[in-house]
């Protein structure tokens, strides 16, 4: 039997849970990690920029400007990508990571997400 400090272990577990699940996006990132490297999803924004954007685009750009982009730029190196990633950006990132292509999966009406298959 291994002796442990239960209070310390619970504190560590609580800190981990808070970090990973304190936000909806954190929970999705955790699930994406456990789902595997070939399944991805991201916000289902339009394929190209059109102004003015619909409600989803406007919300995503708000998150991008005030949360995701500043957080992404706080670490180096950084690609400087915010919340809004359109298919060409995802294709580029997948190519840089060694994937040959990205397919949009036919999963619809799943909140505001689009699912992708990364192909080696």
* pLDDT, tens digit, 9 for 90 and up, residues 44-92: 888 888 889 888 889 988 988 999 889 888 888 888 888 888 888 888 8
Please check whether residue 1 lies inside any domain of the structure: no
- The answer to whether the peptide bond before residue 81 is cis (omega within 30 degrees of 0) is no
- Which residue blocks in 1-120 are alpha helix, DSSP H? 6-21, 24-35, 55-63, 69-73, 87-96
Q: Is there a single domain that holds both residue 57 and residue 115?
A: yes
Which range has the top average pLDDT, 5-19, 26-40, 43-57? Answer: 43-57
43 and 101 within one domain: yes
- The pLDDT of residue 16: 61
Edge-to-edge order in the sheet of strand 113-119: 39-43, 113-119, 101-104
Give residue 21's domain range. 7-36
Co-location of 48 and 17 in the same domain: no
Q: Left if phi > 0, otherwise alpha if psi is -120 to 50, otherwise beta: which for 100?
A: alpha
What's the start-to-end Cα distance of the chain, in Å?
Answer: 45
12: pLDDT confidence band, cut at 50, 70 and 90? low
């Amino acid at each position: 039997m291994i002796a442990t400090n239960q209070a310390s272990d619970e504190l560590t577990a609580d800190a981990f849970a808070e970090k990973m699940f304190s936000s909806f996006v954190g929970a999705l990132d955790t699930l994406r990690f456990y789902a595997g490297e070939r399944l991805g999803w991201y916000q289902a924004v339009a394929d190209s920029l059109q102004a003015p954007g619909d409600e989803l685009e406007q919300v995503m750009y708000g998150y991008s400007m005030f949360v995701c982009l500043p957080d992404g730029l706080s670490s180096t190196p950084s690609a400087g990508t915010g919340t809004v990633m359109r298919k060409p950006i995802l294709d580029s990132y997948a190519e840089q990571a060694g994937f040959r292509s990205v397919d949009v999966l036919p999963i619809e009406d799943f909140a505001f997400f689009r699912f992708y298959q990364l192909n080696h």
